Amino acid sequence: MTQDESQQIEELLLAWYAWQASWAPALGAGRADPACRDFQISKQWLSQDERRELEERAAIKRQSEQVDVCVSELADWRHRAAIQVSMKNKACKAEVFRSARLDGKDHEYYQEAKAALLPMLRKRGLIRTQEAA
């Protein structure tokens, strides 16, 4: 795995973790009448920046769903646990989270997980390959 591929995997995992962490259960009563729940206002009144933001969010969601499938397909639970621990630490910008189940080998399992994810992400077209110079 090249340094560039490793960095791309890091970026994909960070976006995936942010997407995954944004989920919240729907509690209480719905905010709309069931007959009007799926109504969407026309996008014709949105500014160009607002449209671009909506498109970027939709693209990140689609990409994160694909990364989620790849992470779920990892055979070893320790790889998934190491990814979660690493993403938590990166999200808070400190090394404060550890998993007792990983016996202090968080980083080693994380590197193994990235190596296992590489072919899966490449197969789904999420990793850009370096063009030969």
Domain boundaries in the chain?
A: 3-19+50-123
Nearest Cα to 70, choosing from 7, 20, 4?
20
The neighbour count for residue 99, using CB atoms within 10 Å, is 16
User: Across residues 85-113, what is the average pLDDT?
Assistant: 90
Residue 61 has pLDDT above 90, yes or no: yes
Q: How confident is the model at residue 74 (pLDDT cuts 50, 70, 90)?
A: very high
Non-local CB neighbours of 110 within 8 Å, separated by 6+ positions: 79, 82, 83, 85, 86
Tokens at 19, concatenated: 């997407």
Spacing of C-alpha 66 from chain mean position = 8
Share of the chain above pLDDT 70, in %: 97
- Report the predicted TM-score, pTM, of the whole model to 2 decimal places: 0.80
- pLDDT attached to residue 26: 74
Residue 70 has pLDDT above 80, yes or no: yes
